[in-house]
A and B are shown apart, each in its own frame.
Chain A
Amino acid sequence: MADNKASQILLAPNRTGAQTLIFHNRPAIASCAAIAGDMEGQGNFGEHYDLILEDDLWGEDTWEQAECKMFEEVVRLALTKENLSVEWVECLFGGDLLNQIISANFAARQLQLPFLGLYGACSTMAESLLISSALISGGFLSCAACAVSSHFCTAERQYRFPLEMGTQPTPTAQRTVTGAGCTILVQEGSACAKNVVVTHGTIGKVMDLGITDANNMGAAMAPAAADTICAHLADTGRSMADYDLIVTGDLGCLGSQLTRELCLKKGVDLGDKYFDCGERIFTAAQNVKAGGSGCGCSAVVLNAYLLKELFSGVYHRILFLATGALLSPDSSQQGESIPGVAHAVALECC
């Protein structure tokens, strides 16, 4: 069947391999911002966040309102930081973890921007970067904002138990990160463009190797992360030597170890050029078992730390993956296994 494709379908010029998009007209980063909760503020990247919340409610009546406010504020913050106007954004991309992605939807109502809501569980940051980059590269947008958020308290009540309910986390359990991150993308060559561009995007496949434990999402997502990393390298003909760093979103301690092993099986040795945001975001003293999770996890690390390291030239080229566990409390209770997905974007300092 495969060799019939070219005879039946006119092949797109901006693709390479099975899953990867090449952005010949490279979108550039214009600005980025990250807001984090107080516990995240005490973590490893504390000094890098633009804003750290003093309490989880942030002056609102409900946790959901607080998360929505984080989403809205992080977009405004990313724009005002570089003296960009909200009206210049031609499309907002993003999502969160809640049912009907209400944080993103309600924030978009406040921002009054054209909006495409996305749900890729915790993979949404990379997903929105990938889609907006394609649209900018294709000449359909000149300025886009990509934002995601997650909040410990809203995620707990939707996916797990009430906050004050006593529970004992298992050693593989992860803590949802309270945080929101936003990246502003523009056409390369814009006056406000910084020295970092998006060069490739790899769309991940949904992978499922039968993990059913909702307290072990790292293991559920690891096959997807490994698959996307290997697909990206195969599609682009690159190797680990071409990257200064490969970063995954929220696999945690166990998930990142499994990803290393799965990649090694496929002949890719991640070595010391790899780290996982979930594993790094909290300190060991904070006792959060396997690490952080949630779409805010990779978003705050990318927008508070990784992009700045790229701006300053510490890293020249990185592959950023956000990983999502595609479960609901209902599917979990019905005994369904947890599928995972991971999308990747290659970022380059130029």
Chain B
Amino acid sequence: MNQKEITERESYQKLVEERAPKSPLVMDCLKAFLVGGLICLIGQGVSDFGEYVLLLEGESIPAFTAIVMVFLGALLTGLGVYDKIYQFGGAGAAVPITGFSNSVVSPAMEFRREGLIMGTGAKMFTIAGPVLVYGIGGSVIAGLIWLMIR
């Protein structure tokens, strides 16, 4: 690429950046806060239900909460509602565990037509896979460091 072409590319990319409509950052943050907060509020309600109504104890309370929230995320994905919540709430719907559930269930549904093995089975973790790889990998490394310094 000669100097003229590089200049042309740079000036075009600058023009695109100037002209491109920007995301409404403040509004998006507010929506994410509301949706994320609401999901966490429901999660807290489930947790309290486990603790005070079902009389669960210790680590079984967060486990119960996670199971129920993952189920709700999967159910809303199957009913075709979760993607609409996400469109409104953005990261507020992505970060809670319900978002993780959505990212596993949606490819499982989408690729069902390619069969249970090479479709659902193989494609189920195409989106959530990296979260698992680096989440589990990161926790192993953190565990080893903790083992060495404590």
Contact = CB atoms under 8 A, between A and B. Distances in A.
Interface stretch (A126-134, A155-163, A242-250): A155-163
Interface stretch (B53-61, B107-115, B133-141): B107-115
Interface in A163-179: 163-172
Tell me whether chain A's interface is mostly helix, strand or loop, or mixed.
loop
Given A166-B99, A209-B8, A172 B110 contact: no
Interface residues of A, number: 27
A165 B20 contact: no
Interface in B82-118: 82-83, 85-87, 90, 93-94, 99, 102-103, 105-107, 109-111, 113
A163 B20 contact: no
Contact of B82 (A164, A172, A211, A253): A164
Interface in B1-50: 8-9, 12-13, 15-16, 19-23, 28
B127 interface: yes
Contacts of B9: 209-210
B102 A165 contact: yes
Interface stretch (A95-103, A254-262, A268-276): A254-262
Interface in A11-46: none
Contact of A254 (B21, B23, B99): B21
Nearest to B32: A168
A332 interface: no
A87 interface: no
B20 A219 contact: yes
B20 A167 contact: no
Given A170-B23, A216-B16, A254-B21, A165 B8 contact: no
Which 4 A-B pairs have CB atoms at the shortest separation, nearest pair first? A166-B86, A162-B110, A165-B106, A171-B21
